[in-house]
Amino acid sequence: MEIISYVLSAIVAYLLGSVSVSVIVSKTIYRSDVRKHGSGNAGATNVARVFGVLGGVIVLLGDFLKAVVSLCLAKFVFTLISPAAFPDLCVMLAGIFCVTGHAYPVFFKFKGGKGVTVGAAIALFADYRAVLAGLAVFVAVFAISRIVSLSSVSAAITIVAAGIILFVLVGTFSVYMLVLCAFTGLFVIFLHRSNIKRLIKGEEKKFSFAKKKKEKTENSDEKSEENGENI
């Protein structure tokens, strides 16, 4: 029965992760697919950059919520079906499939976001202290550089390192939660591989909340270079 709980949790988490909040918000509120503008990324930062701060905040909260719901449902399903087995393994699988669904959503032609918000929500289930360390690094790097991709990669590296340190020195969570924390951070870094190449070349753009006029957005965004400042 525990195998059923693992499989069911993974499937549900992937489907929830595949709900691209940024695409839904951009199409329903702003009547345009965010993937056709700015960097082309289906993430909160691209929504904020193209349509404004409010849209970005809505997407950020939506992405965070779907990750939390995915992992909470995994715990619920596990408790309901096989409470005597390994609940952390169930949560680990749900987290991995949720962030994978966010990056490669089945409902949106497998073109999704870069997993920073979803990854942070998932890492919370491993250890909140790792996420706090990552958040502190994100804020510090962004304050200095104004480059979201650099801040995101730095935060992801910090979360992985903090998770390992906490597991080795404190040991307050299971190896499954360590794997979840490490996978999430490394996956976010992998999704930013194109950004890392531009960072090395010094071509990554700084973030600006300046909202483009509708006409300019529709006519020029498709021609703009991908800047990778996306969550």
In this predicted structure, what is the pLDDT of residue 225? 42
Could you give the CA distance from residue 86 to residue 63 in angstroms, rounded to a whole number?
A: 26
pTM, 2 dp: 0.84
Q: Contact at 8 Å (CB) between 159 and 130?
A: yes
Residue labelled with tokens 């849209």: 55
The reply to whether 169 falls in a domain is: yes
**Secondary structure class of 41 (helix, strand, coil):** coil
The reply to whether 22 falls in a domain is: yes
Q: Please give the residue range of the domain that contains residue 186.
A: 2-206
Could you give the CA distance from residue 134 to residue 139 in angstroms, rounded to a whole number?
A: 9
The reply to whether 99 falls in a domain is: yes
The reply to whether 40 falls in a domain is: yes
In this predicted structure, what is the pLDDT of residue 103? 94
pLDDT along the chain (231 residues), means of 10: 82 94 92 85 87 92 95 82 72 94 92 91 89 95 93 95 90 85 94 92 78 43 45 59
Domain count of the chain? 1
Three-state SS sequence of 65-106: HHHHHHHHHHHHHHHHHCCCCCHHHHHHHHHHHHHHHHHCCH
Dihedral angle sign, alpha carbons of residues 168, 172, 176, 177: negative
Max Cα-Cα span within the chain: 59
In this predicted structure, what is the pLDDT of residue 224? 44
Burial class (CB in 10 A: 0-12, 13-18, 19+), 168: exposed
In this predicted structure, what is the pLDDT of residue 218? 44
